[in-house]
Amino acid sequence: MKKIFIIEDDKFVSDMYARLFRTNGYDVVQSQSAAEALDMLGKNDGLPDLIILDIHMPEMSGTDFLKNIKHNDRIKGVPVVVLTNSFYEEDEKRFLDLGADLFLIKIKTSNQEILEKVGRLLERSHQ
């Protein structure tokens, strides 16, 4: 079973996506803080197969989180999907340049599209 780590500070949104992935056969871990998520990734033996990351969070932004993991040899290979409501075109380019594998806008992307895109990314990353 593929494991997805959702890093989203809005509990309602995090729970909604967790439910979506669980009902479609994924194991899900959640964190409402990028700093906490970074700590969890540093301590756990097993890494997730994919990280879903929000941009705007307290304590540590999604930008800082992504920079941290992409400089960590142990974690940097884990695919990252930025899932946000930021509409700025420069955000998409910036996050892809920082190493995100996919940039999706929550309100412009249906749950079915998210599932399909995450599924394709997981297939590519494990070939």
Q: Tell me: the pLDDT tens digits for 42-68? A: 886 789 999 999 998 888 999 999 999
Q: Tell me: the pLDDT tens digits for 65-122? A: 999 999 988 899 999 999 998 777 788 889 999 999 999 999 999 999 999 999 999 9
pTM of the predicted protein model = 0.94
3-125 belongs to CATH 3.40.50.2300: yes
Q: Is residue 33 very low, low, confident or very high in pLDDT (cuts 50, 70, 90)?
A: very high
Is residue 126 within 8 Å of 49, Cβ to Cβ? yes
Nearest to 69 by CA among 100, 44, 26: 100
- Give the Cβ contact number of residue 79 at 10 Å: 19
- Mean pLDDT throughout 15-39? 96
Half-sphere exposure of 106 (CA within 13 A, CB side): 15
Separation of alpha carbons 59 and 115, rounded Å? 29
- Give the Cβ contact number of residue 86 at 10 Å: 18
Q: Is residue 7 very low, low, confident or very high in pLDDT (cuts 50, 70, 90)?
A: very high
